[in-house]
C-alpha cells in the first residue's frame, strides 16, 4: 500500500511541476533512482523477506464473481454510516470548491480523493489493493489521509471563496441528504455538528468574517467535536457488535483456566517436540493462547507447501472449507504418530477418537466440557531410518502414510524400499441411494441427510479397524451453507460464493469400521463420486514404532539439540515443517536439511555421529546484511554529494 501511495505521489510531482520546484522532471527521475536503490538496500532484510513470504504464500481461491460495481449496501455509505470508513460530508463541499483548485497541493489532494472515491465504486479497485485477490478495502487509510489534508487546505484557503462559490459547493449535499433519509440507518448524530460547521462558515462569508481567527478557531473546535461524535457513532453502529470484554478473555471458548491447568500438566510430561490436538472454532490459534505445540493455525500468510501437504499430498479433511487456516489431522492415527501427537482434547462427547487414543478424564468449566484422551501408540516422531521411498510410487494417502512411518518419502534420493500397495475396495462395496437419486456423477439429494449408504462384506470388515474413504463431493446448487457427514464425521461447508471458501477435492475421510457407512448431505444437487475405499488395520504403525530408531531432541531458544546413535548411514526425521534457512551442525560441520515426508525436515547422518544441532537463519542473510551496510553508507555519501553539488 505504501508503495502504491508513494508511487502515485511521485508520479504526480513529476508530471505536474510545482511553481517552486528547484528540480526539473528529468532531475527528479535520475536523483530518485539511486535514492530508491539505497532505500532497497537499507530495507533489504524486511523487503526481501516480505516478498518471499508473498511469493511462497498460498492464497489460491475458487473462482468467484467479482462485480464491477458495488451493491451500495450500508457498509459502503462513506459519507453517512460506512462500515469500512465514515467521512464527514464536508469533504464533498471541499471537493466542489473548484475555485481553490488553483492551489497546487489542494488540487493534488482533491484529485487523489476523487480517484479513490471513483475507485471505491468498483470491487476491482478493492481487489487491486489486496494483491488482486478477494476484494478488501485496504485503501481506506489513504482516503482518510487525502481527505484530512484536503479539509486542512480548504480551511486555509476558505477566505478566498465567495458566498456564491460556497453555495454552489453545497448543492451536492441536497442529493446526499435525500439518499441519507431513504437508505442510511444507524446513529449519525455527528451530522448535526457538521451542519453547524457549514452554517457558521456560511455566516462568516456572508458577514465578511472569513478571515477572522476567532471564528476559524470555533470552526476547528467544532471539527474536533464532530470527529469525536463520529467515532462514538461509528463504534455504536459497527464495532460494538463485535467487541469483546475482559470477561471474554477468560471464557471457556477462549481461555479456560481449568483447561489451561490440564494442558500445563500434559506439557510437563511431554517431550520437547510432542504435540496436542486441541482447537476451538472461536480461538483457532489455541496453541498460542494456551502455550502448547499444536496442529492448527489461523493466519493470512501461509507457506504454500503446508496447504499442498494438507490438500493434495495427504488429503486431510480439515472439517471446515475456509482459507487462511489449517486445522488438525483428520482424526488419523498415522498422522498423529508422524507429528508426535500424544494427547487430544475435544468438546464432549468425542465421537471421532482415532485408533490408539484412550479416553482419560473429562475437563469441566461451567457448562463446557472436554474429553481428554492419551495416545497409547508410542511411535517416535523424531527418529532415524534408512528406508527411502519414491513418492511417484505412492498412489493414495494411506500408502504415503505407511511409507512415511517406515522411512523417508523423497524424490531427492534414490529409493531403496517399497511398500505393499493398499487395495482399493470400492469395487467390493455395495452403494445404495438414500433419499437421493444418482445420475452419472450427479447426485440429487431430495431430503436433508440424504445421500448414499456404503456396505462392505463382513469378511472385509473384520480385517480392518478403519476405512479411508476418498470422496469427490461438490455442491452444484443451490448456493447455500451445507455439510458433509460420514457417520460421525462432520465437515461444515460454506456458501458457494463465500469469498474465503477453499474447495478441495478429493478429500479423504477416516471412519471406524461399521456395518454401514452413511454419507449424508444437505438437500441439493451435487457432483459426487466415491473414488476409493482403503482399509487400515494399523499393522504398519505397530511394526514401525519398533523398527525406527528413536532420538532425543531438546529444544532451546535458538536451536534444537539432537542426541542419536546411528549404526549405519541413516536419515534423521524431525517432526517440524521444513523451511528454507534451516541447517544442521554436526561436529562443527554445516549440513543441509532437506524436505521429505511431505513437509518434514530430513537430515542425512553417518555412523558414529552422536550430536547434531538444528539452527535457523534468514535465507541469504550475509548478502542482506552486506546490502544494508552498503545502503546506510551509500545514503550518507549520496547525501554529502547532494549537499556539495547544491542540489537541494
Q: Specify the range with the lowest mean pLDDT, choosing from 34-48, 235-249, 412-426.
A: 235-249
Rounded distance, CA 396 to CA 393, Å? 9
Per-residue pLDDT reduced to its tens digit, 73-95 = 888 899 998 899 999 999 999 99
Q: How many helices (H) and strands (E) does the chain have?
A: 19, 28
Contact between residue 374 and residue 358 where contact means Cβ atoms under 8 Å apart: yes
Contact between residue 154 and residue 97 where contact means Cβ atoms under 8 Å apart: yes
pLDDT band, very low/low/confident/very high, at 549 (cuts 50, 70, 90): very high
Rounded distance, CA 575 to CA 337, Å? 10
Residue 408: alpha-carbon gap to chain centroid = 30
Rounded distance, CA 86 to CA 233, Å? 10
Mean pLDDT of 398-407: 97
Mean pLDDT of 234-252: 86
Contact between residue 545 and residue 538 where contact means Cβ atoms under 8 Å apart: no
**Rounded to the nearest 10 degrees, what angle do helices 213-234 and 190-206 cross at?**
160
Amino acid 322: pLDDT: 81
Q: Taking Cα atoms as reference points, which of 18, 233, 26, 214 lies closest to residue 108?
A: 18
Amino acid 74: pLDDT: 85
Question: Is the pLDDT reported for residue 265 higher than 70?
Answer: yes
Rounded distance, CA 396 to CA 506, Å? 11
Rounded distance, CA 330 to CA 338, Å? 13
- The vertex-101 CA angle with 99 and 105, nearest 5°, equals 145
pLDDT band, very low/low/confident/very high, at 355 (cuts 50, 70, 90): very high
Residue 249: alpha-carbon gap to chain centroid = 22
CB atoms < 10 A from the CB of 68, how many? 9
Please give the DSSP secondary-structure letter assigned to residue 250.
G
Give the contacts of 266 (CB within 8 A, at least 6 positions apart).
Answer: 276, 292, 342, 343, 372
Residue listed under C-alpha cell 532497497: 40
Beta bridge partners of 532: 470
Mean pLDDT of 125-151: 89
Rounded distance, CA 574 to CA 225, Å? 60
3-class SS of residue 609: coil
| CA distances to 59, 168, 466, 575 from 146, in Å | 31, 22, 61, 50
Rounded distance, CA 332 to CA 355, Å? 8
pLDDT band, very low/low/confident/very high, at 615 (cuts 50, 70, 90): very high
Q: Specify the range with the lowest mean pLDDT, choosing from 199-213, 398-412, 457-471, 561-575.
A: 199-213
Q: Specify the range with the lowest mean pLDDT, choosing from 179-193, 296-310, 379-393, 487-501.
A: 296-310
- C-alpha count within 13 angstroms, C-beta hemisphere, residue 568: 5
Amino acid 259: pLDDT: 95
Amino acid 59: pLDDT: 61
Amino acid 647: pLDDT: 56
Mean pLDDT of 352-362: 94
Per-residue pLDDT reduced to its tens digit, 268-305 = 999 999 999 998 888 888 999 999 999 988 877 777 88
Q: Taking Cα atoms as reference points, which of 551, 571, 565, 603 lies closest to residue 389?
A: 571
Rounded distance, CA 57 to CA 599, Å? 15
**Rounded to the nearest 10 degrees, what angle do helices 213-234 and 140-156 cross at?**
160
Q: Specify the range with the lowest mean pLDDT, choosing from 171-175, 237-241, 402-406.
A: 237-241
Contact between residue 329 and residue 613 where contact means Cβ atoms under 8 Å apart: no
Mean pLDDT of 22-42: 90
For the chain, give the percent of residues with pLDDT over 70. Answer: 99
Per-residue pLDDT reduced to its tens digit, 148-165 = 999 999 999 999 999 999
H/E stretch holding 297 = strand 296-298
Contact between residue 184 and residue 74 where contact means Cβ atoms under 8 Å apart: yes
- The vertex-356 CA angle with 352 and 358, nearest 5°, equals 75
pLDDT band, very low/low/confident/very high, at 240 (cuts 50, 70, 90): confident
Amino acid 60: pLDDT: 61
To 10 degrees, the CA torsion angle through 217, 218, 222, 228? Answer: 60
| CA distances to 56, 123, 367 from 60, in Å | 11, 18, 39
User: Strand (E) positions, 440-523?
Assistant: 442-445, 450-455, 466-477, 482-486, 489-493, 507-512, 516-521
3-class SS of residue 403: helix
φ/ψ of 44, rounded to 5, equals -60, -40
Question: Is the pLDDT reported for residue 245 higher than 60?
Answer: yes
Residue 428, C-alpha cell as written in the block: 467390493
Amino acid 224: pLDDT: 96
Contact between residue 194 and residue 226 where contact means Cβ atoms under 8 Å apart: yes
Mean pLDDT of 341-358: 94
Amino acid at each position: 500500500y505504501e508503495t502504491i501511495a508513494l508511487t502515485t505521489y511521485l508520479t504526480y510531482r513529476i508530471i505536474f511541476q510545482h511553481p517552486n520546484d528547484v528540480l526539473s522532471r528529468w532531475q527528479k527521475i535520475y536523483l530518485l533512482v539511486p535514492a530508491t536503490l539505497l532505500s532497497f538496500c537499507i530495507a533489504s532484510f524486511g523487503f526481501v523477506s516480505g516478498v518471499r513470504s508473498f511469493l511462497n504464500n498460498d492464497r489460491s481461491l475458487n473462482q468467484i464473481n467479482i462485480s464491477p460495481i458495488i451493491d451500495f449496501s450500508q457498509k459502503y455509505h462513506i459519507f453517512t454510516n460506512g462500515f469500512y470508513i465514515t467521512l464527514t460530508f464536508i469533504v464533498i463541499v471541499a471537493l466542489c470548491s473548484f475555485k481553490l483548485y488553483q492551489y497546487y497541493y489542494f488540487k493534488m489532494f482533491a484529485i487523489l480523493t476523487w480517484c479513490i472515491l471513483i475507485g471505491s465504486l468498483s470491487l476491482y479497485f478493492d481487489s487491486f489493493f489486496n494483491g488482486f485477490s478477494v476484494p478488501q478495502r485496504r485503501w481506506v487509510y489513504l482516503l482518510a489521509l487525502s481527505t484530512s489534508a484536503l479539509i486542512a487546505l480548504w480551511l486555509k484557503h476558505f477566505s478566498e471563496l465567495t458566498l456564491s462559490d460556497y453555495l454552489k459547493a453545497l448543492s451536492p449535499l441536497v442529493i446526499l441528504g435525500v439518499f441519507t433519509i431513504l437508505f442510511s440507518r444507524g446513529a449519525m448524530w455527528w451530522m448535526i455538528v457538521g451542519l453547524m460547521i457549514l452554517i457558521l462558515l456560511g455566516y462568516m462569508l456572508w458577514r465578511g468574517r472569513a478571515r477572522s481567527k476567532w471564528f476559524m478557531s470555533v470552526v476547528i473546535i467544532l471539527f474536533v467535536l464532530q470527529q469525536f461524535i463520529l467515532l462514538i457513532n461509528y463504534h455504536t453502529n459497527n464495532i460494538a457488535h463485535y467487541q469483546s470484554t475482559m470477561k471474554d478473555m477468560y471464557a471457556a471458548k477462549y481461555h479456560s483456566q481449568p483447561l489451561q491447568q490440564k494442558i500445563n500438566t500434559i506439557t510437563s510430561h511431554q517431550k520437547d517436540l510432542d504435540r496436542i490436538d486441541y482447537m476451538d472454532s472461536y480461538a483457532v490459534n489455541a496453541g498460542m493462547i494456551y502455550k502448547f505445540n499444536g496442529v492448527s493455525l489461523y493466519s493470512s500468510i501461509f507457506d504454500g507447501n503446508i496447504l499442498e501437504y494438507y490438500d493434495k499430498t495427504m488429503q486431510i479433511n480439515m472439517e471446515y472449507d475456509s482459507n487462511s487456516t489449517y486445522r488438525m489431522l483428520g482424526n488419523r492415527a498415522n498422522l498423529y504418530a508422524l507429528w508426535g501427537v500424544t494427547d487430544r482434547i475435544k468438546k464432549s462427547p468425542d465421537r471421532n477418537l482415532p485408533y490408539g487414543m484412550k479416553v482419560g478424564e473429562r475437563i469441566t468449566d461451567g457448562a463446557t466440557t472436554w474429553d481428554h484422551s492419551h495416545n497409547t501408540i508410542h511411535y517416535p516422531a523424531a527418529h532415524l531410518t534408512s528406508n527411502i521411498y519414491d513418492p511417484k510410487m505412492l498412489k493414495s494417502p494411506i500408502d504415503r502414510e505407511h511409507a512415511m512411518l517406515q522411512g523417508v518419502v523423497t524424490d531427492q534420493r534414490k529409493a531403496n524400499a517399497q511398500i505393499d500397495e493398499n487395495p482399493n475396495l470400492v469395487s467390493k462395496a455395495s452403494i445404495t441411494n438414500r433419499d437421493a437419486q444418482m445420475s452419472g456423477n450427479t447426485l440429487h439429494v431430495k431430503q436433508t441427510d440424504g445421500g448414499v449408504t456404503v456396505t462392505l462384506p463382513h469378511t472385509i470388515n473384520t480385517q480392518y479397524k478403519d476405512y479411508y474413504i476418498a470422496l469427490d463431493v461438490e455442491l452444484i446448487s443451490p448456493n447455500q451453507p451445507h455439510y458433509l457427514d460420514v457417520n460421525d464425521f462432520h465437515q461444515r461447508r460454506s456458501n458457494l460464493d463465500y469469498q474465503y471458501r477453499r474447495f478441495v477435492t478429493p478429500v479423504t475421510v477416516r471412519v471406524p469400521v461399521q456395518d454401514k457407512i452413511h454419507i449424508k448431505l444437505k438437500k441439493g444437487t451435487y457432483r459426487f463420486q466415491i473414488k476409493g475405499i482403503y482399509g487400515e488395520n494399523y499393522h504398519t504403525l505397530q511394526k514401525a514404532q519398533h523398527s525406527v530408531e528413536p532420538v532425543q531432541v531438546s529444544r532451546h531458544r535458538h536451536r534444537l539439540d539432537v542426541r542419536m546413535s546411528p549404526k549405519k548411514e541413516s536419515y534423521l526425521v524431525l517432526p517440524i515443517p521444513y523451511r528454507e534457512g534451516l541447517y544442521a551442525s554436526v561436529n562443527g560441520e554445516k549440513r543441509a536439511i532437506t524436505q521429505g515426508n511431505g513437509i518434514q525436515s530430513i537430515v542425512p547422518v553417518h555412523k558414529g555421529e552422536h550430536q547434531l544441532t538444528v539452527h535457523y537463519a534468514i535465507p541469504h542473510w550475509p548478502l542482506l546484511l552486506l546490502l544494508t551496510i552498503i545502503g546506510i553508507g551509500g545514503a550518507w555519501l549520496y547525501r554529502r554529494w547532494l549537499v556539495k553539488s547544491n542540489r537541494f
